[in-house]
Amino acid sequence: MAKAKTQQAHTGKAPTATPTAKTTYHACYKRFAPQAMALPDRDVEVCRADVRIAFANVKRGVQAACADPARIRRALPELPLDDVLALPDLGRALVFAATRVTAKPASSGEIEAKLKVVIELREPMLTLAETLAKRGLLPKDVVAEIRAGSGKYDLASDGMALAHLYEEHAVALRGKHPFSQEEFEQLREASEWLLDTLTPEGARRPAAKQRGEAETMRDRLWTLLVRRYADLRKIGYYFHGDAFEEVTPKLLSRVSSTAVDDVSEEVEAEAGGGEDAGEDGNHGAVSQPAVALPP
């Protein structure tokens, strides 16, 4: 097992907030992607696992072993407990990455549908932003830069910029525009999807390149999960001794069909109801190859 890292002093309490505003699968993916990319290339392991089973074991292990974070901090002060407590969200990031490997390239119809959302919201938001800028409520140079440019990729960039602009100046603009938070979320989601799908020239990214990038991120997130799960098993062993396997099972240990069904239901619920669910045409549905699991 990897040696636990020395962390800064802790308060003895579990984290009350995470870097993401909401724990959708895509939000988790964006949260952990930079950490995964920081791993040295030589340390990255290829993920050949059924990530649903790993995710089920992660959730089970954290729930069973980390019910009392303050006690763990007192007993194991050098163990990176915040990383361990975040393992379920890291699992969600891995599941999201796995969907991108198996996803089909976006169709022209999907691209046009997302563009329609951006176009319908961009113009009224931008027109009002120009008026608000003249009144000194928004920075004129930023608004002018959003108006400049053309093309599908630029439209998507505009959508992201507008959503951010209204959010950044929300206090000053309260009551001065008719747009709902839902509309800003729709604009942001459609813009993110387009920026992730299109090249700056407006064409769809080659499927092979997309798949290669997706596999790279899946493997890196898997490596990060394996490393941090080792710390969870240290907690299990410290408090439960030889019975730690029952509390913190191996990542690919067999789990009950109910546990896997629960994970599948969570994934399906995410795909059906969250703006940040799957972005690559399969809307978060996980399609993983069957693997032989250890007894």
- Considering the entire predicted model, what is its pTM? 0.55
pLDDT at 262: 64
- Using alpha carbons, select from 87, 54, 52 the residue that is nearest to residue 69: 87
pLDDT tens, residue by residue, 142-187: 999 988 877 888 888 888 899 989 989 989 899 999 999 999 999 9
pLDDT at 32: 96
| Centroid of chain to Cα 96 | 7
- State the Cα–Cα distance between residues 67 and 78, nearest whole angstrom: 18
What is the token pair recorded at 135?
Answer: 């009144």
Cα→Cα distances 65→42, 93, 132, 257, Å: 31, 21, 53, 22
pLDDT at 288: 35
* Positions in the chain short of pLDDT 70: 1-23, 102-106, 199-211, 255-295
Q: What is the mean pLDDT of the chain?
A: 78
